[in-house]
């Protein structure tokens, strides 16, 4: 039984041949939508016109919940918090407990611009001179967002080099440190509570490393945190601490202080364009009819594929090498938000909520996992995206080939190759039973669903729009599934157990642990000594 019981009867329509549906030009027209710099095509799915009408009707409760979010209502009900990452890029007043929070948002943004400008123009320097490198230490949303965006917007970099350290594995920092000068490195520690064990462990290690070369390492640290007492104890001057409210979740936070490393890399003007692109998608999400609303339509496609068709995974396939970290970013965004087991009321869900999200940039994946996508027995809905133009005019022939590959893959997934067509590929080489056997290996079932998002070029504004599009998609899916997309209690248990296991790794009494854990600890301890 599907979680999404109001549409269970649509399961009977999921077997439609997409090639036949595409013959209906009116349907295809309904399933290609534009807003701003984006064109979104979901016509290569098995959604029929009547099914789309039903899906849109099922989304009728989204606008009220959407408006409540934008207006500062406490829609994160398990934590009693508003959900206002949109305010970080907004301009309109937003009231929380009778107070307009936008003044604080804009004040913090102004402080970020000033500090980023000082770092970029050399006003703020390290003890060895002008800042050449910035190291952002965070984890989860405090790392994935700015790391993804900094790579994506590399053509706009004209500031210090940016590096990202997240893993408590010492190799992460050791490899990063190889090319750094302690006297010209700025370290940004991103932790709202300033208690995240992985982040604080890395931060302390980096401070010790810097202290071997400079007299006052903390003077080259900044913090993205609301815990002023803890940042002060660490030695970071309050003028270099940038806080944010509890109504900003980690995976939604790079629009504010968590984006400081990005702002330093690309400049405040380009960062403002990044915010503007997201804000334009916010406005579209708030104002467009459901049938024209890109986040709503993207969500409906996701729900159709997962809840109606039962496809367990979703592949995000950007044909842009600089979007290499986008699938991982969206993986966290969706799987941490909608990887839930109970409804808002606390009742168990009768089935899975969110799909497994994964992917890699094209064309690399074509020579790897696309084999499973094309000929495996489990259909994998694919979400392609590609720009009309790259950032390397002298290599435009590369980009033309990139576009051709992107469009060819969605067409191949759609059409497939019949046994008769496969036979013609090997006739003359084989005959009889061997001909049939060889042909069978070359058959592609086709009828595999995909969507395609295209845009003129990957600019700061376009990237902002893409990220906001997916944020709102996750929101819509969560509303329609009846779950809370804004808590993450599943992160907590492992962290608690890791804390308790720490002393055991040093040889403490493990007698209360299960037999498997005791065996693993014993062998690891033996190898460590």
> Cα separation of 168 and 139, whole Å?
9
Helix, coil or strand: residue 133: strand
Residue 230 CB contacts under 8 Å (≥ 6 apart), including other chains? 193, 194, 195
> Cα separation of 472 and 62, whole Å?
11
Q: Does the active-site annotation cover 495?
A: yes
Residue 158: name the closest of 166, 150, 169 by CA.
150
Choosing from 198, 280, 336, 477, the catalytic residue is: 336
> Cα separation of 474 and 75, whole Å?
14
Q: How far is CA 377 from CA 21, 44, 311, 380, in A?
A: 22, 19, 11, 9
Helix, coil or strand: residue 187: strand
CA atoms within 13 A on the CB side of 427: 6
Cβ–Cβ < 8 Å for 148, 328: yes
> Cα separation of 49 and 22, whole Å?
11
How remote is the C-alpha of 348 from its chain's centroid? Answer: 27
Q: What is the DSSP letter of 444?
A: B
Cβ–Cβ < 8 Å for 206, 236: no
Q: Does the active-site annotation cover 367?
A: yes
> Cα separation of 152 and 86, whole Å?
21
Cβ–Cβ < 8 Å for 327, 380: no
Choosing from 25, 178, 367, 529, the catalytic residue is: 367
Q: Does the active-site annotation cover 336?
A: yes
Q: Which residues of 42-64 are buried (b: 16+ CB within 10 A; e: fewer)?
A: bbbbbbbeebbebbbebbeebbe
- Residue 387 pairs in a beta bridge with 455
Tokens of 69: 């979010």
Cβ–Cβ < 8 Å for 209, 219: no
Q: How many helices (H) and strands (E) does the chain have?
A: 20, 15
In the numeric block, the tokens 């979740």 are attached to 249
Catalytic positions, please?
336, 367, 495
């Amino acid at each position: 039984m599907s979680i999404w019981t109001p549409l269970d009867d649509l399961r009977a329509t999921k077997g439609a041949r997409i090639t036949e549906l595409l013959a209906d030009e009116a349907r295809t027209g309904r399933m290609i939508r534009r807003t701003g710099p984006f064109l979104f095509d979901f016509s290569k799915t098995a959604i029929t016109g009547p099914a789309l009408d039903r899906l849109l009707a099922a989304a009728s409760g989204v606008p009220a919940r959407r408006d409540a979010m934008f207006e500062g209502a406490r829609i994160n009900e398990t934590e009693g918090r508003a959900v206002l990452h949109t305010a970080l890029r907004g301009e309109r007043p937003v009231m929380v407990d009778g107070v307009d929070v936008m003044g604080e948002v804009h004040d913090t943004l102004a402080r970020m611009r000033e500090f980023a400008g000082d770092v970029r123009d050399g006003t703020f320097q390290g003890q060895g001179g002008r800042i050449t490198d910035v190291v952002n230490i965070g984890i989860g949303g405090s790392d994935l967002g700015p790391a993804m965006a900094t790579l994506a917007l590399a053509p706009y970099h004209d500031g210090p080099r940016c590096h990202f350290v997240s893993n408590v594995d010492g190799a992460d920092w050791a490899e990063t440190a190889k090319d750094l000068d302690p006297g010209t490195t700025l370290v940004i520690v991103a932790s709202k509570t300033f208690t995240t064990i992985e982040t604080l462990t890395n931060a302390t290690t980096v401070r010790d490393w810097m202290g071997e070369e400079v007299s006052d390492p903390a003077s080259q640290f900044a913090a993205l945190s609301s815990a002023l007492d803890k940042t002060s104890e660490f030695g970071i001057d309050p003028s270099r601490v940038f806080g944010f409210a509890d109504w900003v979740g980690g995976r939604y936070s790079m629009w504010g202080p968590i984006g400081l490393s990005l702002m330093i890399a690309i400049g405040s003007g380009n960062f403002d364009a990044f915010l503007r692109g997201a804000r334009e998608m916010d406005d579209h999400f708030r104002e467009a009819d459901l049938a024209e609303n890109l986040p709503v339509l993207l969500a409906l496609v996701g729900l159709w594929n997962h809840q109606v068709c039962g496809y367990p995974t979703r592949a995000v396939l950007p044909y842009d090498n600089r979007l290499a970290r986008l699938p991982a970013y969206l993986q966290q965004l969706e799987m941490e938000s909608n990887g839930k087991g109970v409804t808002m009321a606390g009742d168990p869900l009768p089935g899975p909520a969110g799909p497994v999200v994964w992917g890699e940039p094209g064309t690399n994946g074509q020579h790897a996992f696309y084999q499973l996508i094309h000929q495996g027995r489990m259909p994998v809905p694919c979400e392609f995206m590609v720009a009309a133009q790259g950032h390397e005019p002298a290599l435009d022939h590369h980009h033309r080939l990139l576009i051709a590959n992107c469009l060819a893959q969605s067409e191949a997934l759609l059409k497939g190759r019949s046994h008769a067509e496969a036979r013609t590929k090997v006739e003359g080489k084989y005959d009889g039973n061997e001909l049939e056997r060889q042909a069978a290996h070359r058959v592609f079932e086709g009828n595999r669903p995909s969507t395609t998002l295209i845009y003129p070029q990957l600019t700061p504004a376009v990237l902002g729009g893409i990220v906001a599009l997916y944020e709102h998609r996750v929101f819509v899916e969560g509303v329609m599934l009846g779950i809370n997309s804004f808590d993450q209690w599943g992160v907590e248990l492992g962290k608690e157990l890791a804390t308790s296991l720490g002393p055991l790794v040093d040889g403490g009494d493990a007698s209360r642990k299960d037999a498997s854990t005791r065996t693993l600890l014993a062998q690891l301890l033996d190898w460590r000594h």
